[in-house]
Structure 1
Amino acid sequence: MMGRAEPARLIFAYAGVNFTDERIEKSEWPALKSTTPHGQLPVLHVDGKQLAQSRVIERFLAKKLGLSGDNEWETAKMDELVACVEDFLIQIAPWFKEQEQAKKVEIFRSLIDTTIIPFISAFENLLISNGTGYFVGDKISYADLAIFHIFWFMNTKILPGSLRKYPKLLEFVDKIANIDNIKKWIAQRPKTEA
């Protein structure tokens, strides 16, 4: 699955940095779990060291590859927006985890009005209020790539066409998806359901 490592992969792709994208089969995970810092994925391996926690990995790569803010305030605002994405993922996690189809539909129906629509609306308004086509400042940042990922996934996998009523978000997703390095990554990455 793309999972929580995808924003980091997008950062690498955007920056044109080659990386090894090692994905773990479910059957392999029990044997590998104890070799990770906290028994979780993703893990970034750099010069024989390991860094865990997806959002920490993203911030580390952003700073290293010039995708964090121009100042501390911008970086903090980027972190704030990514934390909002994280909160959203936690709220919709029960839907992803549910295996029984009837319960899955019931959970999804309750999430539409209470969680999903408010989340989309809030981010549409944030994009409009910044007025630059990006979420913080006037150039692409790691926050934009994390936000792009969730809305691309939503618009193509969870709720196809869900952004039609949100023209600025749809324009944003299309713009990021058509950046040469991002477009190339999307075309070549493994095809997954999630």
Structure 2
Amino acid sequence: MPKNIKLTYFDFKGFGEPVRLALAIAGLDFEDFRIKREDWPAIKPTMPFGHVPVLEVDGQKVAQSGAMLRYIGKLVPESGLYPSDIWTAFKVDEIIGVVDDIMRLLRPSFATKDEDEIVRLRTALVAPEGELTLALAQLEASLAKTAGAKFALNDGPTIADISIYVILDLLSSGVLTAMPKDVYAKHPQLSKVVNAVRAHPKVKEWESKH
């Protein structure tokens, strides 16, 4: 087991929050280092591939949040965060890929400071035939195949549940211009996952402190 774990990311949720929650659920002690915006230019050259989040394990730095999530799950197998069953792990990876696709849909609206353009882009995403609307419906349909489970795939949380929770929490938070708070409300399986993760004792403890 590693002696020292340090997560480096900015002081907001984004791509760092799933890793924070996975570490918390797994019961791993870690340093939650949050970069100030003004300090980023000096820190950027020290990060692998020049971006964050970065997980430093006993002095070795590794990038890519998906890789971090799988590492944490494998490091603490009893947590169930990354299933030992090959098929279930395959489905976990599929869901994480879908969440990454959803994040990519949002990137153009994050890349502009033009408020009118932000509204235009996000309104198009959540239109009846918008790409985000369709992506959420497709994810809902996929989760419906395991509707009897307490979480997305089984009765315990996986890194897939954490990924779903963080992105849907962001989308419905009200902080994103032109993004309706009820963006996923009509999807019972997505709502189930969000509620189950939010109610998890270690998630509740983490969020109460941060």
TM-score by length of 2: 0.84
Give, in whole Å, the separation in 2 of the partners of 1:79 and 1:164: 24
Asked which structure has the greater RCO (Cα within 8 Å, sep 6+), the reply is 1
SS at match of 1:11: helix
Greater fraction of residues in helix: 1
Gaps of 5+ in 2: 1-11
- Residue 30, structure 1, aligned to residue 41, structure 2: yes
What amino acid is the match of 2:140?
A: E
Write out the 4+ residue segments of structure 1 that deviate beyond 3 Å after TM superposition.
Answer: none
Give, in whole Å, the separation in 2 of the partners of 1:172 and 1:80: 16
Pick one of 91, 114, 134 that aligns with 1:118. 134
What amino acid is the match of 2:58?
A: D
- Residue 141, structure 1, aligned to residue 155, structure 2: no
Match of 1:155 in 2: 172
* Residues 151 and 192 in structure 2, CA contact (< 8 A), matched pair in contact too: no
Match of 1:79 in 2: 93
CA offsets, 1:115-160, max 9 Å, x none?
2211221222222211213333443211111111111222223432
- Residue 53, structure 1, aligned to residue 60, structure 2: no
Pick which of 21-30 and 147-156 moved more. 147-156
SS at match of 1:2: coil
1:186 CA drift (Å):
1.7
1:69 CA drift (Å):
1.5
Identity of aligned residues (%): 29
- Residue 128, structure 1, aligned to residue 144, structure 2: yes
- Residue 178, structure 1, aligned to residue 163, structure 2: no
Alignment length, in residue pairs?
189
Pick which of 157-166 and 115-124 moved more. 157-166
What amino acid is the match of 2:152?
A: F
Pick which of 161-170 and 80-89 moved more. 161-170
TM-score by length of 1: 0.90
Q: CA RMSD in A?
A: 1.5
What amino acid is the match of 1:174?
A: N
Match of 1:188 in 2: 209
